[in-house]
Chains A and B, each alone.
Chain A
C-alpha cells in the first residue's frame, strides 16, 4: 500500500496537544507514552517524531498518536512533518515501540506494589487531614488508574492535589510510570473539602 493512501486526521485537544488518528493500527492494542526524546531512543516511530522541533511528548496508542508541543511550535508547520513521519514509519516493518522501551518499565505488578506503597506511606496519611483518601484502582501496562474519595472527591483543589502532589510523589518513587489517570466521578462527591464559589 502506498504512503499516500494512508489517511491521518489531526484533532486539536488544545493549543499544546493534538491527537492524530491513523486509518489503521499503529501499535495494536497497546499504548506507550514517551515523555522525552531520550526515552524514544530505539523506538523508531517515536524517534522520528522527536526529531521534529518542538515536540515534547508522544503517546502512541493503537491507531492514535497524541502529541504535545512546546508553545513556540505551530501546528500548521509541524503537523505536516508529523504526518510525513507517521507515513514514513508505516512504510517500514519497524515496530512503533521497541521491546527495549519496555525493558526499563517495571511490570504492572511491580508498579502496582510500589504505587500502593507510596499511597500508604506518603499520600493517604496526609490527605486524611481533609477527610480524603486515594485508592489505586488498576495498573495496565505502565498506566496507573487512581480514584479520589472522601474530601478529595469533587474537591475544588483535586487537580492540584493530583498533579502536584500525587503524580509528583509517584513519579519520584516509581520509575517507568506512564500516564496517571484519575477515574473519580467528582460530580458525585458529597463532601468535598473545598467547594468552588463564584468569586
Chain B
C-alpha cells in the first residue's frame, strides 16, 4: 500500500480534513508535525517529529525514516510547510515543486520580483525596512498604498494607508505585529501553541516589509492544481464583500463565479502565468487576484490549497474532497482530475469584530437551520482571547452553504451570520491602535450594541 507523508503543523485548521481523506483513501499515512505527539512512541511509523524551520535536517530525517517505511508522496497542508515539503520531496526523488519556487511563493517580495520580471500584471511595490526613517519613506510613497509583511498569511499585518499620517501609523502597527510574531513572545510562551509558533516561524525577514500600490476592484480566489506545469482550475470563488481596507479581512467565498466566461478565462490565464513566473509545477495553488479596470492583477499565489475549513465547500466527481484529490494527485502519476460538482456553494469565514474574551455564542441553532446552510462550525473556543485583524490570525468559525445559485448561497450565508451573536468580554489590555479602530467595550451589553452598529453601518 502506498504511504503518504502529511506535513501537518500543530496549529493548522486542516488536520481533520487531511487525516480523514487519507483514512478514506485507505493509504498508509505518516503524520509529521513540528512538536512531538504525546503518543508518538506508540506508533513510530505513523507519527514523526520534524524541525520545519530546518528543511535540510528535516529532509535527512525523512530519508532515514524512509529506509524502513517507504514514502510515496509528500503533502504539505499549509503555507508554513511548503518549503520543507519541497526539500523532503527533492531528497526522496519525488515529483514536486522546486525548493526555489516555493520559497519565492512564500516571500511576498520575491514573488513580486518574479511577477515583475515575467510581466505578470500585479501591483507596483517597494521593499522597505523598519529601520528606515518613516517620515522620509512616507514622502516617497504614492497613495493609496498597502503596507504588507513579507511572510504572514491571511491578511495579518496588511494595512491600507491613504496619506502620510496613516502610512506612519500603519508601519508602526506592523512593527508591533512583527515583533510579536517573530520576537520573543512566542518563544517564551510555554503553551502548546506558543511552542508551535516558535518552531515554525522564521525571523529572517522580520525587519522588512512591502509597500504596494493599492489596486481597486473586486477580488476573486482561484483554486487550482498544477500537473507538470499545466494549471487546471478546480474552482473560482467570488468574494462579494468589498475589500477596500484599511484591513483586508476575508469573509464570503462563493463558487461558481458570477464573472463572465471571458473574464474567468482571463483570470485563469493570469494565474497560470503567475505560477509559471514562480516556477511552480506540481500540486495545489491558491491564487488571489484583483479585477482592476484594465484586467486581473495578481495579489498572490500560494503553493498550497485554500486555507481554514473552506475546502469543505468543494466536492469533485462522485464526492471527492479537495484533500482526497490532493493526496491522489500526489500519489498517482496519471491521476485524472475530476470536475467540481456544479451546484453553487460558498463559505463565510466569520470575522472577529472585536478584541476580547469569547464568553458565549448565541443563535447557533437558528443559524444552522437557515435554508441553504449545510453547517456552521465555530472554531474559536469559549474563553479564547479574540484578536481582530490586522493583529489577529484566527477565525471565529465558518458557515457553509449550498444552493441552486451563487446569489442564493450568498444570501444564505448572510442570513445565517445575522442569526449569530458572539458575546465578547472586553480585553483588559488595549493598545492605542485598538482604541483608534474599535471603540472600547466595557460590557456584554456594549458588545450587543457594537454588533448592531456593525450591521447598520
Contacts and interface: CB of A to CB of B under 8 A. Distances in A.
A178 interface: no
B205 interface: no
B39 A198 contact: no
A197 B320 contact: no
B21 A199 contact: no
A188 interface: yes
A126 B39 CA distance: 6
Nearest to A11: B319
B393 interface: yes
B336 to A, nearest CB: 11
Given A164-B37, A164-B47, A159 B16 contact: yes
A145 interface: no
B324 A15 contact: yes
Q: How large is the interface on A (under 10, 10 to 19, 20 to 34, 35 or more residues)?
A: 35 or more
B286 interface: no
A15 B37 contact: no
Interface string A3-46: 00000000011111110000000000000000000000000000
Contacts of B379: 196
Q: How large is the interface on B (under 10, 10 to 19, 20 to 34, 35 or more residues)?
A: 35 or more
B93 interface: no
B24 A127 contact: no
B192 A169 contact: no
Interface stretch (B25-33, B165-173, B430-438): B25-33
A6 B215 CA distance: 60
A198 B13 CA distance: 7
B394 to A, nearest CB: 5
Given A189-B381, A199-B153, A169 B394 contact: no
A156 B77 CA distance: 14
A197 B156 CA distance: 11
B46 A194 contact: no
Contacts of A168: 39, 42-43, 46
B24 A122 contact: no
Interface stretch (B4-12, B119-127, B233-241, B267-275): B4-12
A32 to B, nearest CB: 19
Most buried by A among B12, B46, B192, B196: B192
B388 to A, nearest CB: 12
Contacts of B191: 193
A165 B39 contact: yes
A164 B12 contact: no
Given A130-B38, A190-B381, A193-B192, A14 B319 contact: yes
Nearest to A132: B38
B383 interface: yes
Contact of B319 (A13, A166, A188, A199): A13
A70 B28 CA distance: 12
B328 A160 contact: no
Contacts of A156: 10-13, 15
Given A14-B20, A154-B381, A159-B16, 20 more contacts: A12-B319, A13-B24, A13-B319, A15-B24, A68-B24, A156-B12, A156-B15, A157-B33, A160-B19, A161-B37, A163-B19, A164-B39, A164-B47, A165-B38, A169-B42, A187-B377, A190-B381, A192-B381, A193-B192, A195-B384
Q: Which 4 A-B pairs have the closest CB atoms?
A: A165-B39, A12-B319, A15-B320, A16-B24
19 contacts: A14-B320, A15-B319, A15-B325, A68-B26, A70-B26, A71-B332, A126-B42, A127-B38, A164-B29, A164-B37, A165-B39, A165-B42, A165-B43, A168-B42, A193-B192, A196-B13, A197-B394, A199-B152, A199-B307
